[in-house]
Amino acid sequence: MTLFTDRLQHSFFDQFKQQGDLHLSPVLAARLDNPVMVSTNPLLAKQLGIDPAELETPEMLELMSGNFMTANVKPIALVYSGHQFGVWAGQLGDGRAMTLGELPVADNSAPWDIQLKGAGPTPYSRFSDGRAVLRSSIREYLCSEAMHGLGIATTRALCLLDSQTQVYREEIESGATVCRVAQSHIRFGSFEHFHYRSQPDSVKALADYVIQRNFPEWADADNKYYLMFENCVIKTAKMIAQWQSVGFNHGVMNTDNMSIIGDTIDYGPFGFLDAYDPDHICNHSDTNGRYSFKNQPSVGLWNLNALATSLTSLVDNEDLIRALKQYEPEFLDQFRHIMASKMGLEEYRVEDEQLINQLLELLHINNVDYTILFRTLGTFSDQNSSIRDQFLDRDGFDAWAKTYSARLAQQRLTDAQRQQNMDAVNPKYVLRNYMAQAAIDAAQQGDYGEVNLLLEVLQSPFEEHPQTEKYAGLPPDWADQLSVSCSS
């Protein structure tokens, strides 16, 4: 049987040869012991032109556990640097990820990097083991597909393996791999790396690589580097507006975890809000709340400033500033339009800002569950009390509901049409921490059913899934006690 790996290309190498491989290192994997396939992703396989059945073969299990003997792969690890928690961290790099090659796709869009995360140390592992544990791999696997299901730009995940390799964290855990797939793994920190080493030729080579691969239509434009940066500003603003609209808290928005094409990347201690709390900090290690939920939009701009600084050898300062100035209006425009549609409004009007903000404030004061509230808001009518019952402050809600009702009356939609529109933008399912934990607990006992069930549900989060109705309700009391840190 021919593996999809026979379609893999390695033009990545050639591009950087003239630079003396400053950008990457060839690597070897350290195979997992007794690997088992936990989950494969047929939806993504089809999108990539891979026969889903191929993912279930013994050859694929070998490959994804880090045995590259028979397949046509030449894995590499990329170098990058970055600002972590606002401080320059110097050289980082793919410490536990290796790119196996690039998979071209039929529709002529950019090829996809096929990456294996957790397959052993690389020259950039520093003092760590290059491994990923099953717990954090399940979180990354499910969340990247959940974000895609929500329509948010993200890296994807093709399959997930468990093994009997012992990995030492706070306790001994089993080693796993995730096959991460993305149209770019270049980070803001990739550019910063060469800028701060005073290697402008390498900054340029990297930008040329991104443009050739992801934006070939700009290859001959005089201002191609500006266009690449401006695109990143716009895409990042949109991505973060979408994060805010679904209650997603990334948790580690370091510049090495920000993608040049505006994908959500590096799922660590992320969390979706249960009760709406703008001050929520999902990362237990983030004691000052630098990456709290409400700080994400401004951190996005901070990170883009860091990227702009590293592009000063390619783009004039005034142009970089011109692009940066688009961030805030773009973010606000996206956020307001998304929130208006979540409220069932066919268009956003200036006066709606107050309606949105008042609702968010009521959610905050009353500890109302963010996802459930918006999903049930589709059933709003003057007679329906199930929404009102979610608020302790009934008078506060009634006052808001009166304005909301009047606003809805200005539209020509029937209640049924409005509900249909709202159900298409207000997910019934998000990956709450306790759901990921339930899948992790079962998988650690060798039962992978929950991982696969959640994958299916989260890939279509706006649909009804009667078999998982329990996950559409309020989280259980123990969910509050879960704590997630960077340990992975």
Interface positions with Mg ion (CB under 5 A): 257, 266
At 456, the amino acid letter reads E
Categorise residue 483: left if φ over 0, alpha if ψ from -120 to 50, beta otherwise. beta
- In whole angstroms, give the CA distance from residue 104 to residue 112: 6
| Binding residues among 268-287 for ligand AMP as defined by CB under 6 A | 268
Check residue 27 for interaction with ligand AMP (CB under 6 A). Answer: no
> 17: exposed, middle or buried (C-beta count within 10 Å: 0-12, 13-18, 19+)?
exposed
| Closer residue to ligand AMP in complex, CB, 7/96 | 96
Q: Which of 102, 230, 266, 450 binds ligand AMP (CB under 6 A)?
A: 266
- In whole angstroms, give the CA distance from residue 452 to residue 431: 13
- In whole angstroms, give the CA distance from residue 460 to residue 462: 6
Total of residues contacting ligand AMP (CB under 6 A): 15
Q: Which does 125 bind (CB under 5 to 8 A by kind): ligand AMP, Mg ion, none?
A: ligand AMP
Q: Which of 60, 71, 239, 252 binds ligand AMP (CB under 6 A)?
A: 252
Check residue 101 for interaction with ligand AMP (CB under 6 A). Answer: no
* Shortest spacing between CB 175 and ligand AMP, in angstroms: 10
Structure tokens at 191: 């550019």
- Interaction pattern, residues 125-164, with ligand AMP; x per rule: CB under 6 A: x--xxxx---------------------------------
| Closer residue to ligand AMP in complex, CB, 97/401 | 97
Q: At what angle do helices 433-444 and 449-459 cross, to 10 degrees?
A: 150
- In whole angstroms, give the CA distance from residue 377 to residue 396: 16
Taking CB under 6 A as the binding criterion, the range among 123-131, 150-158, 285-293, 419-427 that sits at the site for ligand AMP is 123-131
* Shortest spacing between CB 128 and ligand AMP, in angstroms: 3
Cα 466 from chain centroid? Answer: 27
Check residue 486 for interaction with ligand AMP (CB under 6 A). Answer: yes
Set 94, 113, 162, 256: catalytic member: 256
Check residue 485 for interaction with ligand AMP (CB under 6 A). Answer: no
- In whole angstroms, give the CA distance from residue 39 to residue 297: 34
Four-point Cα dihedral 397, 249, 211, 47, nearest 10: -90
Give the number of other CB atoms < 10 A from CB of residue 52. 13
256 is catalytic: yes
Tokens 């390498």 belong to: 202
Check residue 92 for interaction with ligand AMP (CB under 6 A). Answer: yes
Per CB under 6 A, residues contacting ligand AMP are: 92-96, 125, 128-131, 252, 257, 266, 268, 486
Residues assigned a catalytic role: 256
